[in-house]
């Protein structure tokens, strides 16, 4: 996205919603460039994680591995702390 465009975040958010539409509110929450994957079990989480990573690859969307956070018991997301029980 070119620098300085004020609609760029909105356009990117629309892209991410289109890419993950079939998974939204099932096991994925997307906010701009943050993707939260939630699951009921570790096995299910591994499956969901593979689906999300494969979807990103198929859509030629790439992220820095250093920004990934895997298998966390809690995570800050949009000003809230999400915990695993």
**Under CATH, which architecture does the 8-83 domain have?**
2-Layer Sandwich (3.30)
pLDDT at 4: 60
Euclidean distance between CA atoms 6 and 43, whole angstroms: 41
The average pLDDT across 11-39 equals 90
Q: What is the pTM of this model?
A: 0.78
Each domain of the chain, given as residue ranges in start order, spans 8-83
pLDDT at 10: 84
Euclidean distance between CA atoms 26 and 22, whole angstroms: 8
The average pLDDT across 43-69 equals 90
Query: How would residue 26 be classed by pLDDT, with cut points 50, 70 and 90?
Result: very high
pLDDT tens digits along 46-57: 999 999 999 999
Euclidean distance between CA atoms 14 and 26, whole angstroms: 18
The average pLDDT across 10-22 equals 91
């Amino acid at each position: 996205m070119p620098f300085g465009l004020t609609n760029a975040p909105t356009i990117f958010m629309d892209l991410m919603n289109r890419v993950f539409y079939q998974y939204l509110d099932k096991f994925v929450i997307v906010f701009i460039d943050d993707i939260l994957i939630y699951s009921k079990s570790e096995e299910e989480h591994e499956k969901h994680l593979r689906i999300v990573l494969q979807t990103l690859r198929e859509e030629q969307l790439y992220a820095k591995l250093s920004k990934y956070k895997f298998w966390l018991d809690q995570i800050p997301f949009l000003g809230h702390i999400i915990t695993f029980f």
